[in-house]
């Protein structure tokens, strides 16, 4: 990499080999973004070419109307012509004594077709919702692709989410078929997934549960409802023609934390998602035939959907999937996996990088010889961690793409391109060609260079941007299309631009907190806690954490006789059961009062500032200033 002041640029060798290495691409895209995407979409195989590239009737919009396609045709069939025996998926199990599983494009194609036929036999049709509650095993990829093959809508639920979280999603989508596993390995333990899945079925419409045998743990089986995956596919035909999907038909729904405490189903559509997933992967990760791409994201999150599964396959690349925790059974397991399989593109989250930095320190320079490109996603990365990753893992040779996007956007929207740059520690960089951003103040005026404001996306938005919050158009309008009117998509992120036009993300301006890159809302947590019999009032705030970026802290006003430690235990259990371990508060404090304005609104910023030791600001509107003194004392203790 070439350094110019604080900026880094790719060297000639990298530049020459990359798909995009000429800055003029930005000008071209800027001139007419719709035409730009129209031309790009020609690289996708359509059963029927789109008639109209973009139409807008605020706050709704469409891309590639009139087109018919299937994402699996582009991800599998198309690759059979030239990559039939090429490895599509390398799966690394967690137990060290187990062999990896390798699937070529042809093998994956056959498995997907067989499972698609099995789903059809169970009565699953185009538009039906299918729940997928699976760990990081090859069957999760097969299941997602099989749904897409027949036009069914997958709802993947992160395997570490609780049965209540799964139940909410199954109810909301009226899912009739759920795919799960007996169990899986995590840090040497078998996690009994089937038990969780069974609990989640209460009051749902689920008629069939398909179970993958992974961990061989003993599980309860309900006759007529539960089916073993391996029995189901045993005699299935391995040909299943792909459903011809309209561009604006639903591709999948993925739930994410919303600001009112209830998760919202982000609805993504076939045409735009396929085009954006393909191109952002191709240009940002510079995917070529010889590449082995490892995105560490779990399929339960949007990064897992787009860059662990769909984008590498659409690009005919080989991708790696790992079942377990990257630092188990030893802190540098992730480094061993890179070396063992010759990974050359490595995409992970800042939290993982901070953990690697802490646990592995200075890494041997004999490692990582295969790496040629690094990427991060999900939360802001600090300069120190960026530099550690760049120097120790990337050996100062690999471009480091910091990719900004959201569950809602379906694919990456901001990231400098590796063959062009520039890269600057802690900055996500330039918007991907064809996307128009602005940074606005509260009145809707563009802020100046280096001034903080709200990050918004302008028309024509992005092909993969969500089209709807499932069954909730009101929420769709209010959350994304109301702060600056119905023609501007508000990201809920604060950001600023430097003099080179590079964007730096500051963080969320709503009640979302990013815990280890995972998205949870304070409202969602408060909803759970406030239902406890001993809780009168509660406030959750996100505070900075050295490894996880942010962690939730709870302040509780309790009623009845209960000790702090007993209540803390019960509340932790409640959150584990209702949401999952990702959302656990780091501390729960009992206080006698919460700081409130005279109109009764809890002033959450005070808690946060007490932790970060920032000035508390104007407290004159507080109805109960003595509460601040008490909280200060408790935190100090
Ligand atoms: O605040 C931004 C942060 O993650 C939010 C979206 O979270 P989620 O829907 O879970 O998707 C994460 C993975 C795509 C954003 O609103 N975020 C995402 N990427 C970055 C980021 N913050 C800073 N830098 C990033 N590269």
**CATH number of the domain within which 542 lies:** 3.30.300.30
d(CA 470, CA 57): 19
Same-domain status, 150 and 255: yes
Name the residue among 600, 637, 605, 592 with its Cα closest to residue 622.
Answer: 600
Query: Which residues contact ligand 1 via a Cβ below 6 A?
Result: 256, 302-303, 377-380, 402-407, 428, 491-493, 505, 507-508, 514, 519
pLDDT tens-digit map of 527-561 = 999 999 999 999 999 999 999 999 999 999 998 88
**488, 530: one domain:** no
Alpha helices in 501-563 (DSSP H): 522-530
What percentage of the chain carries pLDDT values higher than 90? Answer: 90
Tell me the C-alpha distance between 318 and 325, whole Å. Answer: 21
Return the best residue to mutate from 253, 305, 404 for the ligand 1 pocket (most ligand atoms within 8 A of CB): 404
Counting ligand 1 atoms within 8 A of each CB, the residue from 295, 379, 464 with the most, and so the one to mutate, is 379
For the segment 483-490, the average pLDDT, to the nearest whole number, is 98
- Contact (Cβ atoms closer than 8 angstroms) between residue 69 and residue 245: yes
Q: Say yes or no: 176 and 213 in one domain.
A: yes
Half-sphere exposure of 144 (CA within 13 A, CB side): 28
Which atom of ligand 1 has the smallest separation from the CA of 428? 26
CA 2/CA 11 separation, integer angstroms: 6
Same domain (yes/no): 330, 380: yes
pLDDT at residue 616 is higher than 90: no
Give the whole-angstrom CA distance, residue 45 versus residue 36.
17
232-286 pLDDT tens trace: 999 999 999 999 999 999 999 999 987 666 899 999 999 999 999 999 999 999 9
Residue 234's CB is within 10 A of a number of other CB atoms, namely: 10
65 inside domain: yes
Please check whether residue 505 lies inside any domain of the structure.
no
**Residues 450 and 560 grouped into a single domain:** no
- For residue 371, the number of C-alpha atoms closer than 13 Å in the C-beta half-sphere is 28
Residue ending a domain, among 432, 466, 495, is 495
Residue with tokens 């689920």: 206
Domain membership flag for residue 368: yes
What's the CA-to-centroid distance between 493 and ligand 1, angstroms?
A: 9
In the prediction, which pLDDT does 361 show?
82
Six-digit token pair at 277?
A: 């997933």
pLDDT band for position 504 (cuts 50, 70, 90): very high
- Residue 228, pLDDT > 90, answer yes
What average pLDDT does the structure give for the chain? 95
| Same domain membership, residue 108 and residue 199 | yes
- Take residue 216 and report the two structure tokens written for it: 């061989």
Q: What is the DSSP string of 529-593?
A: HHTSTTEEEEEEEEEEETTTEEEEEEEEEE-SS--HHHHHHHHHHHHHHHT-GGG--SEEEE-S-
Q: Are residues 449 and 526 in the same domain?
A: no
Residue at 501 is within a domain: no
Q: Are 348 and 375 in contact (CB under 8 A)?
A: yes
pLDDT confidence of residue 259: 65
Q: Which residue minimizes the CA distance to atom 22 of ligand 1?
A: 379
* pLDDT category of residue 562 using cuts at 50, 70 and 90: confident
If you take atom 26 of ligand 1, which residue's CA is the nearest one? 404
In a domain, 504, yes or no: no
Report the alpha-carbon distance of residue 34 to residue 341 in Å, rounded: 40
Is residue 502 in some structural domain? Answer: no
Give CA separation, 413 vs 297, 458, 599, in Å: 18, 12, 40
Q: Are residues 550 and 489 in the same domain?
A: no
Condensed to tens digits (0 to 9), the pLDDT of residues 325-351 reads 999 999 999 999 999 999 999 999 999
Task: Say if CB 472 and CB 480 are below 8 A apart.
Answer: no
Query: According to the model, what pLDDT value does residue 599 have?
Result: 81
Q: Are residues 442 and 523 in the same domain?
A: no
Confidence of residue 212 (pLDDT cuts 50, 70, 90): very high
Predicted confidence at residue 637, as pLDDT, reads: 80
298, 253, 587: which is closest to 408 by C-alpha? 253
Interval between CA 406 and ligand 1 midpoint (Å): 5
- Calculate the CA 266 to chain-centre distance: 12
Query: What's the rounded mean pLDDT across residues 432-457?
Result: 97
Which atom of ligand 1 lies at the shortest distance from residue 405's CA? 14
9-64 tens-digit pLDDT: 999 999 999 999 999 999 999 999 999 999 999 999 999 999 999 999 999 999 99
Give domain status of residue 511, yes or no.
no
Helix axes 626-636, 604-612, angle to 10 degrees: 40
pLDDT number for residue 615: 87
Domain boundary among 445, 463, 495: 495
For residues 86-100, average pLDDT? 98
Q: Show the domain range for 527.
A: 516-636
The full DSSP string for 480-497 is HSSBTBTTSEEEEEEEEE
Is 508 within the bounds of a domain? no
Averaged pLDDT for residues 306-321: 98
CATH number of the domain encompassing residue 280: 3.40.50.12780
Interval between CA 405 and ligand 1 midpoint (Å): 5
This prediction's pTM? 0.95
Query: Does residue 460 sit in the same domain as residue 579?
Result: no
Among residues 452, 414, 448, the alpha carbon closest in space to that of 434 is found at 414
221, 341: one domain: yes
More confident residue, 173 or 634: 173
Q: How many domains in the chain?
A: 2
The answer for residues whose C-beta is within 8 angstroms of residue 569's C-beta and 6 or more apart is: none
Q: Which ligand 1 atom is at minimum distance from the Cα of 412?
A: 14
Query: Are 540 and 445 part of one and the same domain?
Result: no
Whether 365 has a pLDDT exceeding 70, the answer reads: no
């Amino acid at each position: 990499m070439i350094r110019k002041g604080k900026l880094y640029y790719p060297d000639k060798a990298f530049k020459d080999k990359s798909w995009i290495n000429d800055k003029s691409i930005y000008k071209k895209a800027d001139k007419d973004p719709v035409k730009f995407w129209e031309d790009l979409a020609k690289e996708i195989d359509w059963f029927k070419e789109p008639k109209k590239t973009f139409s807008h009737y605020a706050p709704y919009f469409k891309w590639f109307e009139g087109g018919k396609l299937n994402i699996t045709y582009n991800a599998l069939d198309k690759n059979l012509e030239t990559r039939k025996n090429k490895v599509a998926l390398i799966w690394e199990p967690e137990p060290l004594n187990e062999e990896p599983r390798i699937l070529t494009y042809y093998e994956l194609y056959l498995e997907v077709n067989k499972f698609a036929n099995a789903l059809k036999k169970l009565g699953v049709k185009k538009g039906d919702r299918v729940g997928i509650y699976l760990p990081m095993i090859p069957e999760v990829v097969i299941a997602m692709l099989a749904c897409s093959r027949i036009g069914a809508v997958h709802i993947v639920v992160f395997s570490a989410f609780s049965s209540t979280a799964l139940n909410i999603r199954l109810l909301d989508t009226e899912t009739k078929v759920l795919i799960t596993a007996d169990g899986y390995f995590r840090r040497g333990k078998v996690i009994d997934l089937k038990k969780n899945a069974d609990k989640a079925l209460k009051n749902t419409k689920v008629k069939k549960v398909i179970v993958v045998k992974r961990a061989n743990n003993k599980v309860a089986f309900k006759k007529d409802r539960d089916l073993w995956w391996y029995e189901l596919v045993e005699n299935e035909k391995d040909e299943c023609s792909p459903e011809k999907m309209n561009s604006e038909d639903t591709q999948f729904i993925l739930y994410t934390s919303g600001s009112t405490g209830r998760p919202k189903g982000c609805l993504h559509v076939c045409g735009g998602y396929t085009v954006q997933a393909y191109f952002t992967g191709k240009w940002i990760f510079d995917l070529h035939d010889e590449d082995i791409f490892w995105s560490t994201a779990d399929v339960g999150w949007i990064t897992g959907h787009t860059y662990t599964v769909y984008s590498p396959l659409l690009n005919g690349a080989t991708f790696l999937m790992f079942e377990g925790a990257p630092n188990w059974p030893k802190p540098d397991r992730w480094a061993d996996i890179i070396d063992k399989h010759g990974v050359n593109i490595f995409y992970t989250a800042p939290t993982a990088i901070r953990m690697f930095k802490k646990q592995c320190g200075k890494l041997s320079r004999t490692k990582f010889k295969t790496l040629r490109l690094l990427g991060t996603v999900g939360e802001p990365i600090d300069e120190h961690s960026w530099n550690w990753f760049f120097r120790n893992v990337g050996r100062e040779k690999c471009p480091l793409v910091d990719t900004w996007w959201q569950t809602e956007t379906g694919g990456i929207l901001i990231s400098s391109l590796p063959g062009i740059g520039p890269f600057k520690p802690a900055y996500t960089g330039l918007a991907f060609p064809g996307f128009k951003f602005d940074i606005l103040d509260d009145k809707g005026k563009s802020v100046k260079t280096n001034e903080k404001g709200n990050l918004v996306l302008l028309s024509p938005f992005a092909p993969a941007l969500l089209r709807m919050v499932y069954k909730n158009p009101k929420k769709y309008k209010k959350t994304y299309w109301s702060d600056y009117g119905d023609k501007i998509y508000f990201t809920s992120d604060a950001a600023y631009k430097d003099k080179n036009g590079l964007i730096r993300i500051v963080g969320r301006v709503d009640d979302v907190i990013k815990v280890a890159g995972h998205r949870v809302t304070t409202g969602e947590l408060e909803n759970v806690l406030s239902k406890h019999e001993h809780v009168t009032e509660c406030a959750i705030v996100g505070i900075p954490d050295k490894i996880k970026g942010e962690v939730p802290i709870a302040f509780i006003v309790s009623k009845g006789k209960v000790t702090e430690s007993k209540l803390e235990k019960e509340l932790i259990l409640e959150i584990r059961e209702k949401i999952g371990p990702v959302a656990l508060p780091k501390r729960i404090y009992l206080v006698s009062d919460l700081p409130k304005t005279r109109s009764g609104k809890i002033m959450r910023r005070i808690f946060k500032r007490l932790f970060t030791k920032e000035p508390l600001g104007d407290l004159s509107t507080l109805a109960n200033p003595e509460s601040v003194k008490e909280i200060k004392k408790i935190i100090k203790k």
